[in-house]
C-alpha cells in the first residue's frame, strides 16, 4: 500500500438522483420505459436510485403509457426548478424553446442530457459556458449518430491523439434513399417515397435530404475533434435532391458509390497555417472503401488519427431504441457524478483555429457532361483544365446521338475554388452542351 494515497469517497452514496424528462415522443417514451424496467441495474451502476420526478409535454390531455398521470406537466420551467430534480433530459427537438429550457436547467445547477443536435450545433458556446459557470455536466452523445459512441470517442478515447480527419455517413434517411437508388435502380423521388412510407423520412424531409441534419452533426464532430468551435453556419452544406439514376449508374461504372458524407478535417495552407473545415455533400466513395458498404439506414464514422490510425464506428444512427440507449448512457454518467462528485470532460476549444473557407479545401471532381462530337474537342476541353493548373486522372467518352458525345472526367486534387471556376468555364464553352452533374471524390 502506498503511504498517503488518496481515499475514494462516495459523497452521496445511496442518495436518489431526481430525473426530469422534457418531451415524451418516441425517444422519451423509450427512455422512461427502460428507466423503470432496469431500475435496479441503474441503481447499481450509479450508486443510488434514479427516480423520475416528472415529464413535461405539450399536450397534457393525451394518454401517456407507462407514466403516472400525476407526473405529467405542461410547465417545463416549474419542473426544472424543483429542488428534487438533479438531472434534466431534453428530448423536445427544435432550437429556441429547448435552448431556453436547457439554459434554465444549467443555470439552476442541474446537469443536462440532450439528444438535440440542432441545439448543440447552433448554441454550443452558450450552453458550455452555462454548464461551466454552474459546475454541472452537459452530455449530448445521442446528438451524433445515436448509439454509436462518437462523442465519447472524441472527448475521451482519442483525447491523447491528434485527429487528422473525420468522415462519415451520419444521416440514415439519405443513406437509405441512396442505397435504394444504388441497389434497386430507383429514382430519387421513388426512393424518397419508400423512405417516407417506412418512417425513415419525415413528411417534410428538408432537414435530411438537404443535408442540414448531417451538417449539425459535422459541426459537433469538428468542434470536438479539433478543439475549435465550429457552428452549424460554418458548415458547407449540399444535399441529395439533385442526384439522379444516371449519376448512380455513372458512379457504378467508374467503380464508386454515392454517399452523403459529413467531412471534418484540419487543413494547412502554403504558409503552414492550420484551419478547420467541415462540409456535407454527396461524395463518390470507392467500392473498396469501408464506407461504401454501409447500407440502408445505418451510419458509420471513419476517423483518421495520427497514432491510432484508421478507425470506423458503425451501427444504427437513429431510431427510438438506439437513441434512448445513448441518452441513458449519458444519464448514468451525469447521475454518477451527482452521487460521487466530479464532472465529465467539458468542451475544450483551446486550439481556437480559424474556419477554413470551403474554396480552400482540396478535393477532386467527377464531371459528367455532353459535348460536341468533333475531332479535337477532347484536346480543347483538356486545355481548359490545364489553364487552371488541373490535371486529369481519367477521361471516358461515350458516343451519343446527333453529333453529341458524353464525356466523363475525373480530376486530380485541386482547390475547390479552382475546380468550381473551371466548371463554370466549361459551361460557357460552345463545345459543352450540358453539364449533367458534378460530384466530389473526397475520401
259-294, pLDDT tens digit by residue?
Answer: 999 999 999 988 889 999 999 999 999 999 999 999
Q: Is the pLDDT of residue 399 over 80?
A: no
Q: Is the pLDDT of residue 197 over 80?
A: yes
pLDDT bin (cut points 50, 70, 90) of residue 345 is confident
Mean pLDDT in residue range 162-171? 96
Binding site for NADPH: residue ranges?
117
| Catalytic one of 110, 180, 217, 266 | 217
pLDDT bin (cut points 50, 70, 90) of residue 376 is confident
In degrees to the nearest 10, what's the CA dihedral of 341, 346, 351, 355? 180
Please state, rounded to an integer, the average pLDDT across all residues of the chain: 93
Q: Which pLDDT value is given to residue 89?
A: 98
pLDDT bin (cut points 50, 70, 90) of residue 11 is low
The pTM of this model reads: 0.92
pLDDT bin (cut points 50, 70, 90) of residue 375 is confident
Q: Is the pLDDT of residue 161 over 80?
A: yes
217 is catalytic: yes
Burial of 343 (0-12, 13-18, 19+ CB in 10 A): middle
Binding site: residue ranges?
22-29, 117, 202
Residue 369 to residue 400: CA distance in whole angstroms:
12
14-66, pLDDT tens digit by residue?
Answer: 899 999 999 999 999 999 999 999 999 999 999 999 999 999 999 999 988 88
Taken as a whole, the chain contains a residue count of 443
Least confident interval from 47-51, 156-160, 394-398: 394-398
Distance between first and last Cα of the chain: 52
Q: Is the pLDDT of residue 396 over 90?
A: no
pLDDT bin (cut points 50, 70, 90) of residue 4 is very low
Amino acid at each position: 500500500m502506498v503511504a498517503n494515497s488518496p481515499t475514494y469517497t462516495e459523497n452521496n452514496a445511496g442518495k436518489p438522483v431526481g430525473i426530469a424528462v422534457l418531451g415524451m415522443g418516441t425517444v422519451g417514451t423509450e427512455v422512461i420505459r427502460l428507466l423503470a424496467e432496469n431500475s435496479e441495474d441503474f441503481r447499481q451502476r450509479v450508486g443510488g436510485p434514479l427516480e423520475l420526478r416528472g415529464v413535461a409535454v405539450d399536450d397534457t390531455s393525451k394518454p401517456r403509457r407507462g407514466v403516472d398521470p400525476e407526473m405529467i406537466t405542461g410547465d417545463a420551467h416549474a419542473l426544472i426548478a424543483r429542488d428534487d430534480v438533479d438531472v434534466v433530459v431534453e428530448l423536445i427537438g427544435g432550437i429556441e424553446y429547448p435552448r431556453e429550457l436547457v439554459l434554465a436547467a444549467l443555470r439552476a445547477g442541474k446537469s443536462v442530457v440532450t439528444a438535440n443536435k440542432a441545439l448543440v450545433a447552433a448554441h454550443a458556446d452558450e450552453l458550455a459556458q452555462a454548464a461551466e459557470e454552474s459546475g454541472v455536466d452537459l452530455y449530448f452523445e445521442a446528438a451524433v449518430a445515436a448509439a454509436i459512441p462518437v462523442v465519447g470517442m472524441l472527448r475521451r478515447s482519442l483525447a491523447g491523439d491528434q485527429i487528422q480527419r473525420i468522415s462519415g455517413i451520419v444521416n440514415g434517411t439519405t443513406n437509405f434513399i441512396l442505397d435504394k437508388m444504388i441497389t434497386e435502380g430507383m429514382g430519387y423521388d421513388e426512393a424518397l417515397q419508400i423512405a417516407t412510407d417506412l418512417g425513415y423520412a419525415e413528411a417534410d424531409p428538408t432537414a435530411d435530404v438537404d443535408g442540414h441534419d448531417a451538417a449539425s452533426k459535422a459541426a459537433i464532430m469538428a468542434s470536438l475533434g479539433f478543439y475549435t468551435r465550429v457552428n452549424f453556419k460554418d458548415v458547407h452544406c449540399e444535399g441529395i435532391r439533385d442526384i439522379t439514376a444516371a449519376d448512380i449508374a455513372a458512379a457504378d461504372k467508374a467503380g464508386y458509390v454515392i454517399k452523403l458524407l459529413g467531412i471534418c478535417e484540419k487543413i494547412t495552407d502554403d504558409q503552414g497555417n492550420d484551419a478547420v473545415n467541415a462540409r456535407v455533400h454527396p461524395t463518390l466513395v470507392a467500392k473498396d472503401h469501408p464506407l461504401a458498404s454501409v447500407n440502408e439506414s445505418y451510419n458509420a464514422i471513419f476517423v483518421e488519427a495520427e497514432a491510432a490510425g484508421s478507425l470506423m464506428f458503425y451501427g444504427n444512427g437513429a431510431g427510438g431504441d438506439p437513441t434512448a440507449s445513448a441518452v441513458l448512457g449519458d444519464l448514468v454518467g451525469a447521475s454518477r457524478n451527482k452521487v460521487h462528485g466530479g464532472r465529465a470532460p467539458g468542451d475544450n476549444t483551446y486550439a481556437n483555429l480559424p474556419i477554413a473557407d470551403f474554396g480552400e479545401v482540396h478535393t477532386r471532381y467527377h464531371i459528367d457532361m455532353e459535348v460536341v462530337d468533333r475531332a479535337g474537342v477532347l484536346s480543347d476541353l483538356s486545355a481548359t483544365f490545364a489553364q487552371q493548373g488541373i490535371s486529369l486522372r481519367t477521361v471516358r467518352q461515350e458516343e451519343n446521338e446527333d453529333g453529341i458525345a458524353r464525356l466523363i472526367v475525373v480530376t486530380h486534387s485541386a482547390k475547390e475554388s479552382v475546380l468550381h471556376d473551371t466548371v463554370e468555364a466549361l459551361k460557357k464553352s460552345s463545345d459543352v452542351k450540358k453539364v449533367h452533374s458534378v460530384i466530389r471524390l473526397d475520401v
